């Protein structure tokens, strides 16, 4: 499937992107860049993400032909919010409002948030119309240009503002690359409908509030950490946080893209119960992918750090990353496995409650322990917040589904992860970093895959035998 190609490229380039930017900026300037990048995410999530969510739910190949006013209303809203944000930014700078950030860094962050929103919206349009090639082109062009422009800016100027502007320019180039493929009718204010705009807002508002809080938590933690321990310490924390959020955010988004489209198709063709049964099966699929990735990354973290993390971040990076990983996998499972339950049933208020609870957990831990303890408490607080979200939404989702995910398959996945840990543990520190990392990845994949096949999780052994038999018949 063409839609899987962007995941491989996006995950790889985002991983490399963060490392190179950190290498050229250094801990202190990377700390400033990370605060700006968190503002980008918050602006996108709080003010533009609701249009992406509405496009995913209400726009499709069918409605494109029968209800063109849906796309027209979405386009008008995107344009209006983007122009309004630019106007507010100009007014804020003109009157001299103090945001405790340099004006150019703030401007680059806000404009970057608008660009990220436009990128996500057009990505949702491509997915809704099953334009996998256009979606792949959008993601690939954006990531390649970001690698060139953002890393180049960090190398040449050592200025976080230039790096953020490079990201904005990469989005603009990617949108130009797909504008013809994704276009419907020309933008027209008269074609937009207020009643549809209210429908979109009423549907997406609870999700937007929840997602905005999820974006606020990392921004809050790195800002408080910078105030308490300096921008360099915020840079150490932010490199681990950004890389984890990029990797597992991409993983969750890609699993959602691949799995959600089938759920929506079943809901339209075979009814709600069939779609909910598919979600229950998809939970096992998400666990099969997410648990070994997070566990494997934790196991190879020392070798990974020695091999690829900039020297000025080593030691601090692995400390923060190990504490942040439980939260990353929790939010991945929520988005890819549980979020479709609430999306399908339009019962999104629970996600808002879970987000508020997560923020409260984060603030309680920070307020209770941070003033007199090590800076690592911010990482513990962030993971605890995301784990609280997973627990609340998991209980609510499992109560909604007509059938639970296969407990046998879930237990086998946990067993496979446990055996992988047992196999990799003796390799710690025995070899040079490249050899150790290669051995750990190879052995871990072999043990995990063999266990899944032995247990026939999700009938994978039967499917593999069928594929092999079909291939042999095709050759004969």
- Provide the whole-model pTM: 0.80
Three-class SS state of 314: coil
What pLDDT is stored for residue 242 in this prediction?
A: 86
The per-residue pLDDT for range 177-209, each reduced to its tens digit, is 988 888 877 766 777 788 888 888 887 777 788
What integer pLDDT is reported at residue 2 of this predicted model?
A: 52
Q: How confident is the model at residue 441 (pLDDT cuts 50, 70, 90)?
A: confident
Alpha carbons 440 and 445: distance in angstroms, whole number = 8
Distance CA 177, CA 134 (A): 9
Is the predicted pLDDT of residue 358 greater than 90, yes or no? yes
Per-residue tokens: 5: 């190609």
Average pLDDT over residues 205-220: 84
pLDDT of 4: 55
287, 303, 457 from 423: Cα distances, Å: 20, 16, 20
Percent of the chain with pLDDT over 90: 30
- Tokens representing residue 252 in the block: 């969750």
Residues 114, 115, 118, 123: is their CA dihedral positive or negative?
negative
Angle at 58 between CA 53 and CA 63, to 5 degrees: 145
Q: Count CA atoms closer than 13 A to 169's CA, side-chain side.
A: 15
What do you get for the CA distance between the two ends of the chain, in Å?
Answer: 26
**Chain-centroid distance, C-alpha 458:** 25
Cβ atoms within 10 Å of 382's Cβ, excluding its own: 31
Residue 409: Cβ within 10 Å count: 22
Q: What is the Cα 4 distance to its own chain's centre?
A: 15
CA-atom Rg of the chain in angstroms: 23
pLDDT digits (tens, 9 = 90+) for 37-65: 889 988 988 888 888 888 887 887 777 77
E strand or H helix at 6, and its extent? helix 4-43
Question: Shortest CA distance to 172 belongs to which of 146, 147, 153?
Answer: 146
- Look up residue 86 and give its two tokens: 């630019």
C-alpha separations of 278 from 162, 273, 346, 424 in Å:
45, 9, 17, 34
**Between 63 and 233, residue with greater pLDDT:** 233
Residues 6+ apart with CB under 8 A from 172: 115
Whole-number pLDDT of residue 47? 86
Per-residue pLDDT of 132-191, as tens digits, reads: 788 888 888 998 899 899 999 999 999 999 999 999 999 999 999 988 888 877 766 777
Q: What is the mean pLDDT of residues 384-397?
A: 93
Residues 258 and 4: beta-carbon distance below 8 Å = yes
Distance CA 118, CA 123 (A): 8
Distance of CA 149 to the CA centre of its chain: 22
């Amino acid at each position: 499937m063409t839609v899987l190609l962007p995941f491989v490229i996006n995950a790889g380039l985002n991983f490399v992107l963060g490392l190179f930017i950190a290498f050229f900026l250094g801990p202190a300037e990377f700390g400033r860049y990370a605060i700006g990048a968190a503002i980008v995410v918050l602006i996108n999530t709080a003010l533009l993400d609701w249009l992406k969510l509405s496009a995913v739910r209400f726009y499709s190949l069918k409605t494109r032909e029968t209800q063109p006013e849906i796309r027209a209303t979405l386009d008008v809203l995107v344009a209006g919010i983007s122009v309004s944000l630019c106007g507010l930014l100009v007014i804020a700078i003109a009157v001299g409002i103090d945001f405790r950030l340099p004006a150019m860094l703030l401007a680059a962050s806000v404009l970057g948030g608008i660009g990220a929103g436009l990128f996500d919206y057009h990505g949702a349009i491509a997915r809704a119309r099953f334009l996998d090639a256009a979606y792949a082109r959008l993601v690939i062009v954006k990531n390649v240009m970001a690698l060139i422009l953002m890393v180049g800016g960090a190398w040449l100027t050592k200025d976080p503002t230039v790096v953020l502007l490079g990201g904005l320019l990469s989005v603009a180039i990617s949108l130009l690359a797909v504008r013809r493929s994704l276009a419907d009718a020309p933008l027209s204010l008269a074609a937009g409908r207020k009643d549809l705009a209210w429908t979109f807002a009423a549907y997406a508002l609870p999700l937007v509030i929840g997602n905005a809080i999820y974006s606020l938590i990392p921004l809050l933690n790195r800002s408080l950490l910078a105030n308490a321990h300096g921008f360099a310490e915020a840079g150490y924390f932010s490199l681990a946080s950004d890389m984890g959020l990029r990797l597992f955010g991409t993983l969750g988004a890609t699993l959602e893209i691949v799995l959600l489209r089938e759920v929506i198709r079943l809901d339209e063709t075979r009814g709600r119960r069939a779609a909910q049964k598919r979600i229950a099966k998809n939970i096992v699929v998400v666990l099969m992918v997410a648990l070994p990735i997070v566990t494997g990354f934790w196991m190879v973290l020392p070798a990974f750090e020695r091999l690829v993390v900039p020297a000025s971040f080593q030691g601090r990076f692995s400390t923060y990353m190990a504490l942040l990983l439980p939260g990353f996998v929790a939010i991945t499972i929520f988005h890819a496995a549980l979020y479709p339950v609430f999306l399908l049933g339009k019962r999104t208020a629970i996600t808002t409650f879970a987000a508020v609870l997560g923020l409260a957990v984060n603030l309680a831990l920070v307020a209770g322990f941070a003033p007199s303890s090590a800076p690592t408490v911010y990482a513990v607080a962030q993971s605890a917040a995301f784990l609280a979200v997973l627990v609340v939404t998991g209980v609510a989702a499992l109560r909604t589904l007509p059938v639970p995910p296969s407990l046998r398959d879930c237990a086998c996945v946990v067993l496979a992860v446990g055996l992988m840990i047992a196999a990799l543990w003796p390799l710690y520190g025995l070899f040079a970093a490249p050899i150790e990392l290669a051995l750990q990845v190879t052995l871990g994949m072999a043990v995990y895959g063999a266990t899944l096949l032995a247990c026939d999780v999700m009938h994978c052994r039967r499917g593999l035998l069928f594929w092999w038999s079909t291939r042999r018949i095709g050759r004969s």
